[in-house]
Structures are given as C-alpha cells and as structure tokens.
Amino acid sequence: MGMTQIRFINPNSSQACSDGIAAALAPFRFAGGPEILVETLAEGPPGIYSWQDWHSVVGPLCRLAEANTADVFVVACASDPGIEAVRAVCRRPVLGIFRCAVTAALARAERFGVIALVDASIGRHAVALRSLGVEQRLAGEIAMNVSIETLLDPVSARARLIETARALVGQGAQTVILGCTGMAGHRAAIEQAVGVPVIEPCQAAAGQAIAIAGAALGG
C-alpha cells in the first residue's frame, strides 16, 4: 500500500484551512500506508460560502483531477462541490468528504446532526443527503454563520460549537457531523463535551480512501 497516493484538494484558497486538514489527517499517515497529500486550490475563493463559490471551483477541480495521478482523489470541502462533474472526468475514485461523513455517522448511530458553516451550506447538504437517500435520518442542522477564519481560531468558536452540538443532540442527533473543514481542530473537545460521536469529514474520507486503495491493491 505504500506506493498508493491519496490526494485531498481543499477547494478554497485558505492555506490555514489546508493546514488544519493536514493536521486532522495526521493519524492516518502510518508506515507502509498510502501517501496522503493535501493541496490548496489556488483558483478557489477564500471559502465556499455561497452557491456561486460552489460553482466557481467545479471547472478548476475537474482540470486538476484530469491531470492528477493520485490513486484516490478527495474533494475536501463539506459542501462536496462538483463531485458529479469531477467523477465524470476522472477514472480514479473521487470522494466527497460530506458524503463520507454521513456514511460514517450512520455506521455509528441511527440519526445524525450537522453543524453547518452558513445557511447556504444547508441547501447543499440537502442535495447530498437526497443523493444518498438518507435525508430522513437527519435529526437537525444548524448553521454557525461565521467565517472560516473564526472557526480556525482554537478558542473563539469552540464554546459556540459545543453549544450547537448540544442543541443538535437535543433534537435527537445521536452523532454530530462537523460541516466545515475549519472545524476540524475542535472535534475532540466537542465530542468530550457532548458525549456523542463527532465526525470530522476529512478523517471519515481518509478511512474510506485507505480502504479503497487497499482493496485495489488486493485485487
């Protein structure tokens, strides 16, 4: 498996966000395992806030995937921008981290909640949930409506993230998905505070990508 490569593409242009993704993926790098790379899409907006932002990265992601030699390609934004388009031009497996997070959450519990970045994220997540046929398993979704920079601060957003996760548990969520890569550094603290599994989407995608890469090598 050591010769395989998994490439995560952060479709926003925030290097700080990419650094947070890389930190979240650190436990998945191990001797003899696949090479896990994180790349920032230079053409991307500062964050994927609006539908316009979402659509603006589809073309660049497709071009990058076409030119890429990775064994597994991961779109590292919890709105899964351009997944269908990227899969159409890339012969290798293409994962979206939100869809991976949902399947990971449902492996742990019957119902899940989502902490969204902004209100527009909720609509994009609804599309993904319909594509998976699991929209009835969503207990609730609450948007933070803050910037990615705010989320990346190790202190300023944490109390509100914990409060939001608790509200989702109150709505019936038995596990909580962090709906933005900027939340990755808070996962353990939120889980400890609320007492239910908290799913970080890049980590969920890494687990699935490693399994895919291993299966391919095994024939």
Structural domain harbouring 126: 98-201
Q: Are residues 76 and 142 in the same domain?
A: no
Sign, Cα dihedral of 147, 152, 155, 160: positive
Tally of CB atoms within 10 A around 211: 11
Q: How much of the chain, in percent, has pLDDT values that exceed 90?
A: 85
Q: Are residues 149 and 67 in the same domain?
A: no
Q: Are residues 122 and 56 in the same domain?
A: no
Q: Are residues 34 and 71 in the same domain?
A: yes
Structural domain tally of the chain? 2
**Is 1 a residue whose pLDDT tops 50?**
no
Q: Are residues 55 and 113 in the same domain?
A: no
**pLDDT at res. 216:** 55
Q: Are residues 26 and 52 in the same domain?
A: yes
- pTM to 2 decimal places: 0.93
DSSP per-residue letters across 143-190: E----HHHHHSTTTTHHHHHHHHHHHHHTT-SEEEEESGGGGGGHHHH
The CATH code of the domain that includes 189 is 3.40.50.1860
**Is 168 a residue whose pLDDT tops 90?**
yes
Q: Are residues 13 and 44 in the same domain?
A: yes
3-class state of residue 23 by DSSP: helix
Q: Are residues 127 and 177 in the same domain?
A: yes
Q: Are residues 147 and 186 in the same domain?
A: yes
Q: Are residues 181 and 207 in the same domain?
A: no
Q: Are residues 61 and 121 in the same domain?
A: no
Segment 141-164 shows an average pLDDT of 93
How far apart CA 196 and CA 97 sit, in angstroms, is 20
What does the pLDDT look like over 26-68, one tens digit per residue? 999 988 889 999 999 999 999 999 999 999 999 999 999 988 8
The CATH code of the domain that includes 16 is 3.40.50.12500
How far apart CA 160 and CA 166 sit, in angstroms, is 10
